[in-house]
Amino acid sequence: MRILHIGTDEKFIDGIIWQFEGIAPESNEYFILVPSEAYEIKYIKNKQKIKTIALDSKAYRNLPDNLASFDAVLMHSLDHNKAYIVNNAPKETLFFWMYWVLSFIKLRPLSWSWSQPPLLWQ
């Protein structure tokens, strides 16, 4: 089984690596979305396990099309950058959302209309 983890907060990824490698060693890949190619990782100790993807890159724009080789994709928090990936991925992609505080902070107040589904993130 191949599992892709996509996150943005580098301060928590070492703990995620520790947990998931303990459960399913060598079955996980970890992508961190960063603002630009020039961004330098500061807090991650397991840098050899991480692939950074710049939000202004072709790799980010093409990421939804490259998910077929993974059995599952875990979104660590959900924001508009990850929503782009979910919304543009093939329909058969199996996504899981790991709800972190960042998800709650980024959520907009929920307003409901029968004619338009709610918008949950900024």
Domain boundaries, the chain: 3-106
pTM of the shown model: 0.80
pLDDT at 10 over 70: yes
Q: What is the mean pLDDT of residues 29-54?
A: 94
pLDDT of residue 104: 57
CA dist 43 to 13, 14, 31, 50, 78, Å?
Answer: 9, 9, 15, 12, 21
Could you tell me what percent of the chain has a pLDDT over 90? 63
Give the mean model confidence (pLDDT) for residues 30-58: 94
Alpha-carbon span 36 to 28, nearest angstrom: 24
Confidence bin at 102 (pLDDT 50/70/90): low
CATH topology of domain 3-106: Rossmann fold (3.40.50)
Single out the residue of 80, 75, 73 nearest to residue 107, CA to CA. Answer: 80
List strand residue ranges (DSSP E) for 1-122, in order. Answer: 3-7, 28-34, 50-54, 72-76, 95-98
Residue 2 has pLDDT above 60, yes or no: yes
Q: How far apart are CA 24 and CA 57, in angstroms?
A: 30
